[in-house]
Amino acid sequence: MTKKRDLASVSPAETEILRIVWERGEATVGEVVDGLPPERNITYATVQTLLRRLEKKGYLKHGNKGKAHVFSAAAQKDEVIARTVKDFLDRLFAGDAVPLVHHLARHGKLDAQDLERLKKLVDED
C-alpha cells in the first residue's frame, strides 16, 4: 500500500475516475467510460490517460484480464478522503473544522437531520 504522504494531489477529473474505480472495486477503461454520466462526453483515450496518471501517482494499480487492463485501488478511499479533507482544512481554515461546518450550515448544505447526526458523532467521541 502506498504511503499517504507519497500521493500527489488529484484533479477533479481524476477524482471522478477514481470514484468510479472505488465503487466498482475494479474496472477496465471501457467500464469506467460506461460509469461516467452521459453528459460528461469524455473519450476512451482521455479516460485511459487519466487512469494511467492515477496509477503513476499511486492511487491505482492494474492487472490483466485477457487483453484488457483492469484497474483497482492502490490507495484506500478512507485514507485518501482523510488526507484530502485535512489538506483542505489546513489550507482554507488553518486546520479548524468549525468554520467549515458553519459555512455548510449557513449555505443550506446541512439540514436539521444532518446536525442531529453530527451531535451524535460528537457525543460518541
Q: Quick one: 86 and 110 in the same domain?
A: yes
- In this structure, what are the phi and psi dihedrals at residue 112, rounded to the nearest 5 degrees? -60, -40
- Measured CA to CA, the distance from residue 51 to residue 3 in angstroms comes to 19
Q: Positive or negative CA dihedral for 11, 14, 19, 25? A: negative
DSSP per residue over 12-58, as a string?
HHHHHHHHHHHHHSEE-HHHHHHHS-GGG---HHHHHHHHHHHHHHT
What is the residue range of 42's domain?
Answer: 10-73
Cell output for 83: 488526507
What CATH number corresponds to the domain at position 68?
Answer: 1.10.10.10
Whether 2 has a pLDDT exceeding 60, the answer reads no
- Domain's final residue, options 55, 73, 91: 73
Mean pLDDT score, 16-38: 96
The total number of structural domains that make up the chain: 2
Q: Does the structure show a pLDDT above 50 at 3?
A: no
Same-domain pairing of 24 and 50: yes
pLDDT tens for 39-58 read 988 999 999 999 999 999 99
Looking at the fold, whether 91 and 114 belong to one and the same domain comes out as yes
- Taking only the tens place, the pLDDT of each residue in 67-82 is 999 999 999 999 888 8
The yes-or-no verdict on residue 35 having pLDDT over 90 is: yes
pLDDT value at 9 more than 60: yes
